[in-house]
Structure 1
């Protein structure tokens, strides 16, 4: 027996512009039953899921890709935990939580991870799928009977445990706090008397006298993490804590978050950087389904098993395959020397911006080569990329908005970069109609097909990032200059982008420079590495391009961590400090394995 889940994306539906083909062609409506009906002509329709046959004709006929209909086993209906409204996203299940450990939640964007955090934190009250009804706490607890952490969950929903929540988006923090100084804000909320220890660990000393509304994204992220960890609570929730942070800052933040479990706290983390999630979490919950339509919460797995299961697309413990293909970190053939056919050579670089100075040795990039650029925040990676771009173009006066129309360039910040309809922007980048294979390999995995009729000005940060990387790769360019192409993207989108960059470079016999903080992405992408070291915001010294093994070894030595590979899928894993493997690799001076 199957049940229907029908979801309508309200932002995409334009009932005054389409002639309402969803209702017009519905076979159930033609028999006289109101399976699809419009309450108001200018508002999205309502789909009656009990009358819907699941034929999906409405899905295919909708010109704006606004409708999704899926058939699910009726057993799942017993696990419905929350629904946002009629024909809206549906959440099945709820994770088991345990004190004294870190539980990671892994899944695509739009699958319900943030919803789960908000429910735990009391920001969203679950309705068990009963839209429009008042659901009391006892009903919720009855639905959770059998959950291995029922007693803990009962205390959370009855308000007996205090939850501390670090949100995903940080835009509201400057607006709410305004011109107060960082030191003033943190001293006021320091309930644990841990001010000195935490600002030292998160490198916040330098910005203590800065006003909150002047902070960068990375500084805001560290402020939010510090604020959460300084407060007394029983449950700590972190939504994407590594966004905007460089590798070193990610590791320090992970160590601080992990230290909460020593206080026997419940810690739940949503994270897309697999290397950091593996390093931080004790357990992992996989969320799968169809983004923006429904999400299912898996049972709790160990971190290693959970991440490997996610990459495999198959949860053995539940006999569930949620993705057709597995993901493996196949090491591509790398050259240890400079390629014979050079695409571009650049001279020695000396540039000063304000009080910051960057020095870089001369070098070259070969045909079919990807060079990664690595280093901490504020060390000059973006400056290096822009200097390489200027050297290649031979003109430093072209505005950024014009550069992206001439060459495959994805800047670090993309807000306000695009104007117009998404489909028109993509066609302009490619130079005509986009072929089916690119739709399947790039546009659909990045979920841009569902945004084709939207205005770029209305897109979220993650959607804009996907649009920016997609337009850059669609352009016919001898060299691609990509600044943090994986920012804001979920695990599957990151892997799509990584594969697309490599495929584009090889197929077009072009080259690419890529700035990236995700160690797994850098490892998978790069043929050689430029490592920039120095003192952030003061000076940076960029090396010549070096072999990946040498470059990653230098980077990891600087970060003071060692990495091994998972035998099953070759994904890089950070060794626990002072473990047997960690000590052995340090003794051999093999930080990168």
Structure 2
């Protein structure tokens, strides 16, 4: 156990609602600020009349002002600090995890938070793979854990783990490693046959039936993800743990997977814990949410359980009300499918109608033009030819019909990022750019926080860290056009926001176009000026539109799936409408599939 003297001193942040700031509020804040009284500048009024205080100067004593003002214009809220039950610690000065999520029979619990703050550690403890040490590294003890959580839902689960009376099944994060572990020529059918529970029904529910005789080594990332989910659910277990089940899946299959997991857990009266960063998927799959917060690599705290909608909204707003803690300084906002005009810049690449055919697949592309500095989102189901389209633009593939007169040089970030041997991050970047240049430092290294990763081997990076490096490597190369395939995979929500904004900023600053393939509609909406929409039959034929306005493109794409999204009333985040609901039917009648307008 760690006593209160070991906890860091709390830091605070001032949340100011300028719409509620009156002259009276300004006078109270300035008059009673202890910093102002001591001759330093604390709360002050800016030239444009707004009340302000530098974040670094806010302290607990400012709560006096919060108590004196007559409304909620000012709130003084502590930033994350180590609090609650210390459950596990890695070494004397290592990462510390406080509290645990609480599984419940017949219920799916979501874990939401940044990478590096203990979600995987929590899953390992719940799976019985790590015995919590409560800060005593050399003496892990299930009995101590049981005593610590006596009287809670966790007590029974921990007792069963101690006594070997509970079975768990885990769907890991890095599904791309599945092929390396498969036996030679092992098929999907053979892998499923090794598990006892209703694999025929699961294969149908997860659209694996057409793949049964395929060898595992030939599967795409999305196909491997669905196979791992199927084998996890086909295991006879009491507790199911899913680490990022939406990665590499297109929008339609993300929703399919969410419903399948939820239905199976409910029917079996089992329990499940899901780590997920795609909020639309998490919203569908989870009955409740534990927000994890803290300082990545230093400590993590698992919050009290919240309802699914409330937990996601409080996470986005950056404040956990019951815990009275501000987990980030600013809220995360969601742009709607607003119209963005085509940049009034030169055309970098113009292409005619294109058609290319293979033995079992064909792709048709409508003519279009790509402008300097614009960001184009590419959406559509997997296996419709999005990567083939990129190869056509890059001149790596010749079209059967139509010719691109001047091919662009393309810097490409592939869907799968595979580290090579013991090469360090620094060594990889030296191969593609001058890492000592100011341009590299300001455009790539700083925005993607590469300094902390430079001396680490690529093979030692987490999925999220490897993704950051891959995106940065793509942008570090000199090219006419930049194409990124699923840059959101393995990134947490905060990092997805940062990457989307950095990509858009890079395109503007360099006057280079960006094409982004992704299935996270929030990232696509945030980064894109226009959309290219792919439709067709996966693995058979694909049809790509010319770049079109955001609102038109989103409606075109979602109408092909028969799925509608609404805005959350409080945070404006996209939420999937229940099929056949009143709002779903209305939006379809109005032709507004992505948000109501």
Q: TM-score, normalised by structure 1?
A: 0.79
Q: Which string of whole-angstrom CA distances, capped at 9 and with x for unpartnered residues, describes residues 490-525 of structure 1? A: 222211110001111223333211111112111222
2:490 corresponds in structure 1 to 488
Matching residue within 271, 274, 278 for 2:276: 271
* 1:415 corresponding residue in structure 2: 418
Could you tell me which runs of 5 or more consecutive residues in structure 1 were left unpaired when the two chains were aligned: 6-70, 395-402
Equivalent residue for 2:194? 188
Asked if 1:119 is matched to 2:121, the reply is: no
User: Does residue 253 in structure 1 map to residue 257 in structure 2?
Assistant: yes
- Following TM superposition, by how much is the alpha carbon of 1:81 offset from its aligned partner in structure 2, in angstroms? 0.6
Task: Map residues 307-346 of structure 1 onto 2, 5 A cutoff.
Answer: 307-331=312-336, 334-335=339-340, 341-346=346-351
Of 365, 376, 382, 1:377 maps to: 382
> How far, CA to CA, are the matches of 1:241 and 1:275 in structure 2?
13
Aligned to 2:213: 209
Q: Secondary structure at the match of 1:237?
A: strand
Query: What is aligned with 2:106?
Result: 100
CA change 1:559–1:417 in 2 (3 A) is farther
User: Structure 1 residues 353 and 418 mapped into 2: Cα distance closer, same or farther (>3 Å)?
Assistant: farther
CA distance in 1, matches of 2:306, 2:444: 31
The aligned residue for residue 588 of structure 2 is 586
Q: How many Å apart are 1:393 and its aligned residue? A: 13
What CA deviation, in whole Å up to 9, does each residue of 1:334-378 have, x standing for no partner? 336685743321122222345322111110123332111111111
Q: Are residues 542 and 321 of structure 1, via their aligned partners in 2, closer, same or farther at CA, if it must alter by over 3 Å?
A: same
When residues 463 and 553 of structure 1 are mapped into structure 2, their CA distance, relative to the original with a 3 A threshold, is same
Instruction: Give, in angstroms, the shift of residue 166 of structure 1.
Output: 1.3
Maintained 8 Å contact 2:111/2:119? yes
Change (3 A) 1:438 1:353: farther
2:175 is paired with a residue whose SS is coil
Structure-to-structure mapping, 1:564-575, within 5 angstroms: 564-575=566-577
Please name the residue that 1:25 is paired with. none
Q: Is the 8 A contact 2:423 2:457 kept in 1?
A: yes
1:280 paired to 2:282: no
How many angstroms apart in 1 are the aligned matches of 2:280 and 2:226? 19
Give the equivalent residue in structure 2 for 1:48.
none
The 5 A counterparts of 1:372-521 are 372-390=377-395, 408-416=411-419, 421-423=424-426, 425-426=428-429, 431=434, 433=436, 443=445, 446-456=448-458, 458-475=460-477, 477-521=479-523
Q: CA deviation at 1:104?
A: 0.8
Tell me, in whole angstroms, the C-alpha distance in 2 between the residues paired with 1:195 and 1:478: 48
Shift of 1:477: 4.6
**Deviation (angstroms), 1:188:** 3.4
| Aligned twin of 2:536 | 534
CA–CA distance in 2 between the matches of 1:96 and 1:436?
A: 48
Distance 1:418 1:567 in 2: 49
How far is the alpha carbon of 1:532 from its aligned partner? Answer: 1.2
- Residue equivalent to 1:357: 362
The alignment partner of 1:450 has SS state of coil
Contact in 2 for aligned 1:101/1:282 (Cα 8 Å): yes
Which residue pairs with 1:53 in the alignment? none
- The within-5 A match list for 1:527-566 is 527-566=529-568
In the alignment, does 2:232 pair up with 1:228?
yes
Which of 97, 111, 121 is 1:91 aligned to? 97
Change beyond 3 A, Cα 1:4–1:449: farther
Answer yes or no: is the 8 Å Cα contact 1:346–1:391 preserved in 2: no
Counterparts in 2 of 1:257 and 1:446: CA distance versus 1, 3 Å: farther
- Taking the aligned partners of 2:420 and 2:132, their CA distance within structure 1 comes to 38
| Counterpart residue number, 1:14 | none
Give the C-alpha shift of residue 472 in structure 1.
2.5
Equivalence for 1:169: 174
Q: Secondary structure at the match of 1:111?
A: coil
Distance in 2 separating the partners of 1:124 and 1:203:
34
CA RMSD of the aligned region, Å? Answer: 3.1
CA contact 2:337–2:594 (8 Å) conserved in 1 = no
- Cα drift, residue 585 of structure 1: 1.3
Tell me the secondary structure at the aligned position of residue 194 of structure 2.
Answer: helix
**Aligned-pair CA distance for 1:564:** 1.0
Offset at 1:120? 1.0
Unaligned runs of 5+ in 2: 9-78, 400-406
**Residue-by-residue CA offset, 1:306-330 (whole Å, 9 max, x unaligned):** 1122222221111111212221123
Aligned to 1:243: 247
With normalisation by structure 2, the TM-score equals: 0.78
Corresponding residue SS for 1:257: helix
Contact 2:338–2:550 (CA under 8 A) maintained in structure 1: no
| Contact residue 435 and residue 441 of structure 2 kept, 8 A | no
Using the TM superposition, give the Cα deviation of residue 106 of structure 1 relative to its aligned residue in structure 2, in angstroms: 0.9
| Aligned equivalents of 1:291, 1:254: Cα separation in 2 | 28
Give the CA deviation at 1:225.
0.7
Residues in 1 aligned to 2:447 and 2:324: alpha-carbon distance in whole angstroms: 25
Say if 1:457 and 1:161 are closer, same or farther in 2 by CA, change over 3 A: closer
The separation in 2 between residues aligned to 1:163 and 1:112, in whole angstroms, is 19
Distance 2:436 2:244 in 1: 36
Judge conservation of contact 1:283–1:306 (CA < 8 Å) in 2: yes
Q: Is the 8 A contact 2:118 2:300 kept in 1?
A: yes
Secondary structure (helix, strand or coil) at the match of 1:449 reads: coil
Question: SS of the counterpart of 1:117?
Answer: helix
Match of 1:133 in 2: 139
Aligned to 1:301: 306
CA distance in structure 2 between the aligned counterparts of 1:580 and 1:408, rounded to whole angstroms: 45
Distance 1:393 1:590, change over 3 A: same
Change (3 A) 1:87 1:203: same
Please state whether the residue corresponding to 2:114 is helix, strand or coil.
coil
Report SS of the residue matched to 2:6.
strand
1:346–1:362: 8 Å Cα contact kept in structure 2?
yes
Compared CA separation, residues 171 and 333, structure 1 to 2 (3 A)? closer
Aligned length: 513
